[in-house]
Amino acid sequence: MKLNIGCGLNKVKGFINIDKYAASNPDQVIDAEITPWPFESDQIDEVLFNHSLEHMGADTEVFLNIMKELYRVCKPGAKIQINVPHPRHDSYLGDPTHVRIISPQVLSLFSKKLNQQLATEGVPNTPLGIYLDIDFEIKHVKQMLEEEYLMLFQQKKISERELVKMISERNNIVTEYQITLEVIK
């Protein structure tokens, strides 16, 4: 079974398209911020959050409950695809319904392996995977660049090192993150 959570008007064939707004005509009207979700444990093979997860979990406990519920309903090895606007892009900053920054750094906190590694190194990150007894591994991260910066990089007018520095210092270079997680059980 596959879920497209927070589908809005973007339905995906082969997925159960869920949204809290009936006006978007989803397959099922479900508010993902209200847990538990109406799915059995270890039932879901794949989940898609396509520009939706950043709209959920303004309250930290609500966000953590979403992550716990996502873990509960997914089968071992389930794939979770998360596409979100980059937090330093106007597409994120200009939408008042964006309530939660979603980034690889945030999602890495739900990896038990990384939690243990960072604890050993004395890094003070919050080990949410250990605290919540959930485990997600980041399998792939893609940063989608604005066309101008993509062309500069492809034409070798800026190096990868320069691009990385620019991304950390400036807005409107990366449009979105595409992050793939795997459920570890």
Q: For the chain (length 185 residues), average pLDDT per consecutive 10?
A: 97 98 97 98 98 98 98 98 97 96 97 94 92 98 96 95 95 97 98
**pLDDT at residue 175, as a whole number:** 97
List the alpha helices (DSSP H) in 23-139.
60-73, 90-93, 104-108, 112-121, 128-132
**pLDDT at residue 131, as a whole number:** 96
**CA separation for the pair 107, 67 (Å, rounded):** 10
- Could you tell me the domains of the chain? 2-145+176-183 (3.40.50.150)
**pLDDT at residue 124, as a whole number:** 85
